């Protein structure tokens, strides 16, 4: 165990040292200054300690623009490949700040196989539970999910898992925030950070033409697919929230008709969560190898697969909810969603939370006078 921790610490120190080396070159060059928030933040520093590197790594949106613009990129002897170097540190920061700390290792093992095994295992468990109970094929139930799994059971189980995910991720981000410590607050910083996050401003590549993927061409595909995924996720969350309000405040219980608000929100969100992750997987498979960290790809793909499967099984459940297959489809969908929630704080979803924190720090910092300009150390 001790040896493993030492190996992890050594790997992190090496990744951070490599980022510091590349940033020193960038700080002298500054050609990419207008591309994203990382470069203006970098120019406010002359040296890069661990906290600075963690902050800049999470501020990077991995758009790839600086790699394709760089005259010092491999095969140049300087070997500047900032998107890859920052991506390596980014994954290390998720593990370093994770709560509980011992779970940080999960980031290293979370991948496509783990995601599919968790989803398949949980779905199988629920299917077997129904089969043993004699309710796996009960005949048409007119979409009444609660005749299969009681409402209280679902609310308690999913509520507990979701709250744990939020709590664990929140504590991890709080530890990150304490380390990068902006020190002061600034008017308007939170609003601008929220705008940057919601609009994915820095996936525009600094000129609005977009990012680079496998080559020098600019494309807005990454930004659009992230938007489909992000807003699809939000719409699905809104559908669940509205259904909960219907249930407890209005005493209106599921199943809801197709034209009801929860079903419309869920359907729109589900379609976004099909198209967005499918497109992001396509981009992920084609990306230039120096734009990312190859070790992180299994984690990316695992999260993408769970989002896609959660949406596909949810839409299938909606389509066949009035048939005898409803209980089976419901068990499969719940298994996938449970796996998604359980892996949420220890997978790719962390990037959304850490990046929002880094954007907030950036927007605070840019409103403050530069310490370099003031001649401070
Ligand atoms: S990535 Fe390359 S071109 Fe851009 S600032 Fe750094 S050294 Fe200069
Ligand atoms: S990959 Fe994109 S977001 Fe990251 S440092 Fe380079 S230009 Fe900035």
Q: Is 91:17 a contact under the CB 8 Å cutoff?
A: no
Between the CA of 41 and the centroid of ligand 1 the distance, in Å, is 14
Centre of ligand 2 from the C-alpha of residue 365, in Å: 18
- Measured from the CA of 211, which atom of ligand 2 is nearest? 2
Q: How far is 369 from 295, CA to CA, in rounded Å?
A: 38
Residue 350 φ/ψ, nearest 5 degrees: -55, -30
User: Could you identify the atom of ligand 1 that is nearest to the CA of residue 35?
Assistant: 4
CA-CA distances (angstroms) from residue 341 to 72, 164, 236, 308, 351? Answer: 42, 9, 13, 14, 15
Ligand with an atom nearest the CA of residue 26? 1
Q: Tens-of-pLDDT digits for all 377 residues of the chain?
A: 566 667 667 777 889 999 999 999 999 999 998 899 999 999 999 999 999 999 999 999 998 999 999 999 999 999 999 999 999 999 899 989 998 888 877 877 777 888 888 889 999 989 888 888 787 777 777 778 888 888 889 989 999 999 999 999 999 999 999 998 766 777 889 999 999 999 888 887 777 788 888 888 999 999 999 999 999 999 999 999 999 999 989 999 888 999 999 999 999 999 999 999 999 999 999 999 999 888 888 899 999 999 999 999 999 999 999 888 999 999 999 999 999 999 988 989 999 999 999 999 999 999 888 777 555 44
pLDDT computed for residue 3 by the predictor: 66
Q: For residue 30, which atom of ligand 1 is closest to its CA?
A: 5
Q: Which residues contact 108 (CB under 8 A, 6 or more apart)?
A: 95
Q: Which ligand is nearest to the CA of 206?
A: 2
CB atoms within 10 A of CB 149: 18
């Amino acid at each position: 165990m001790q040896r493993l921790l030492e190996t992890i610490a050594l790997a992190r120190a090496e990744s951070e040292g490599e980022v510091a080396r590349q940033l020193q070159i960038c700080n002298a060059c500054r050609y990419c200054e207008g591309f994203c928030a990382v470069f203006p933040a970098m120019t406010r520093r002359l040296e890069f300690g661990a906290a600075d590197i963690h902050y800049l790594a999470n501020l990077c949106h991995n758009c790839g623009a600086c790699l394709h613009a760089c005259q010092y990129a491999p095969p140049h002897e300087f070997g500047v490949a900032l998107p890859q170097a920052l991506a390596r540190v980014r994954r290390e920061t998720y593990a370093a700040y994770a709560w509980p700390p011992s779970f940080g290792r999960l980031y290293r093992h979370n991948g496509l196989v783990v995601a599919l095994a968790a989803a398949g295992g949980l779905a199988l468990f629920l299917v077997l539970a129904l089969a043993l109970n004699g309710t796996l094929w009960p005949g048409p139930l007119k979409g009444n999910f609660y005749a299969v799994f009681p409402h209280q059971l679902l609310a308690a189980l999913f509520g507990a898992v979701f709250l744990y995910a939020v709590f664990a991720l929140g504590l991890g981000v709080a530890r990150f925030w304490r380390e990068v410590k902006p020190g002061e607050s600034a008017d308007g910083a939170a609003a601008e950070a929220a705008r940057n996050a919601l609009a994915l401003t820095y996936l525009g590549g600094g000129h609005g033409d977009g990012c680079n993927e496998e080559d020098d061409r600019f494309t807005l595909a990454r930004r659009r697919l992230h938007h489909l995924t992000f807003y699809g996720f939000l719409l699905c969350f809104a559908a669940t929230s509205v259904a909960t309000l219907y249930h407890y405040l209005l005493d209106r219980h599921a199943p809801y008709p197709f034209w009801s608000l929860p079903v419309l929100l869920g359907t729109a969100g589900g379609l976004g969560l099909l198209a967005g992750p499918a497109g992001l997987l396509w981009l992920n498979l084609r990306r230039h190898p120096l734009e990312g960290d190859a070790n992180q790809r299994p984690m990316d793909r695992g999260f993408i697969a769970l989002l896609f499967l959660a949406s596909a099984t949810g839409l299938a459940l909606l389509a066949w909810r009035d048939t005898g297959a409803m209980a089976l489809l419901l068990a499969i969908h719940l298994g996938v969603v449970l796996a998604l929630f359980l892996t949420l704080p220890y997978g790719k979803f962390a990037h959304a939370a850490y990046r929002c924190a880094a954007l907030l720090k950036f927007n605070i910092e840019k409103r403050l006078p530069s310490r370099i300009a003031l001649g401070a150390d």
